[in-house]
Amino acid sequence: MGALLTPSISDSVILARPHRQQQTISRSVSVTGFGFWSGRDVTLEFKPAPVDAGIVFVRSDLEHAPRIPALIENRLESPRRTILAHQGVQVEMVEHVMAALAGLRIDNCEVWLNSAEVPGFDGSSKSFVDALLSAEIVEQDALRSWLLVTDVTRVGDADSWIEARPIRSQKMRVKYRLDYGHDSIIGRETYEATIKPERFIAELAPARTFILKQEAEWLRQQGLAERVTPEDVLVFDETGLIDNELRYEDECVRHKVLDLVGDLALAGCDIVGQFVAQRSGHRLNANLAQALLSECQLIQERGVSA
């Protein structure tokens, strides 16, 4: 991938007045599985959190239960997954948990883990969403902050890019173009939707991680993902899907949108705007969130308010 385009520092985003109540869950709820990368068994517990707490990962397996705020400044660069680190402690593959929380509009929650990696389940957000819905989502006595996109901000290069555009509503809308080329069994897919809880639950949360067979074999050679099988995630060879069936015809692109929702949630606020992406991944998603937050900070320093 070529060098990133430098976003212009302009009045492209402003920190607007909150437009909805903050939310958390009514009680604790847990799920158990294993980490895709490490293969280690792990229990994850969602716990209610007070207003303005945000999303915080807590490593219960370590002394003093260190806390890792789910914010973009704590993101570590890593291939194929999102890792957060704070004061020397990290947690891996958080994007599907973050997508579940953001998709359901849960703003304040503690995520307790007894291992360094989130359980992978089937490579989607469905297990997390099911658990969170069983706990019940409740409103809190505080308003949620949001970023309003008022100009175009873009990161990436000619082949892979993502940009934020203004939108004529208080919504977050995403259009993603997945392009593996005509010679690939995955090919080209496009998905576009306004991100709201009911649509997220029905159309995005169940969309699973996908990988090409040769990529999966390479990971195995590195001693990674040894417990994961084609029955867990979507693995494609040159003829099609191995030992599995698609939940949607365009499940691959839906999963890319799922990842995008999770990565943008690291901004720590709602973002109102239209996002258009082509072959974007975790790095570009995070770079765009960082660019928007950086521009917002500059405008605040100038004293501009909504």
Whether the per-residue pLDDT at 304 is higher than 90: the answer is no
Domain ranges for the chain: 1-20+144-208+247-306, 21-143
Q: Residue 222 burial by CB count (10 A; 0-12/13-18/19+): exposed, middle or buried?
A: exposed
Percentage, residues of the chain above pLDDT 90? 72
Q: Supply angle C-alpha 109, 114, 117, rounded to 5.
A: 80
Q: What percent of the chain has pLDDT over 70?
A: 91
Give the number of other CB atoms < 10 A from CB of residue 192.
Answer: 13
Q: Does residue 2 register a pLDDT over 60?
A: no
Among 3.30.450.90, 3.50.50.100, 3.30.465.10, 3.30.230.20, name the CATH number for the domain at 21-143: 3.30.230.20
pLDDT digits over 190-240, tens only? 999 999 999 999 999 999 999 889 888 888 777 777 788 888 889 999 999
Q: Is the pLDDT of residue 297 over 90?
A: no
**pLDDT over 50 (residue 1):** no
Catalytically active residues, by annotation? 282
Give me the helix-helix angle, 282-301 and 251-264, nearest 10°. Answer: 30
Find the mean pLDDT for residues 130-152.
93
CATH number (3.40.190.10, 1.10.1040.10, 3.30.1700.10, 3.40.640.10) of 1-20+144-208+247-306 reads: 3.30.1700.10
- Amino acid 15: pLDDT: 52
Task: Using alpha carbons, select from 140, 114, 159, 181 the residue that is nearest to residue 279.
Answer: 159
What pLDDT score does 271 carry? 92
Backbone angles phi, psi at 244, to 5 degrees: -165, 170
Q: Rounded to an integer, what distance in angstroms lies between the CA atom of residue 99 and that of residue 165?
A: 21
Say what the pLDDT of residue 296 is. Answer: 58
Please report the DSSP string for 27-46 in residue order: S-EEEEEE-TTT--EEEEEE
Alpha helices in 136-281 (DSSP H): 197-199, 213-221, 251-264
Mean pLDDT of the chain: 88
- Quick check: 11 pLDDT over 60? no
pLDDT digits (tens, 9 = 90+) for 91-126: 999 999 999 999 999 999 999 999 999 999 999 999
Give the other-Cβ count within 10 Å of 183's Cβ. 7
Check whether 273 has a pLDDT greater than 90. yes
Instruction: Go through the chain and tell me how many residues it has.
Output: 306
**Could you tell me the pTM of the whole model?**
0.90
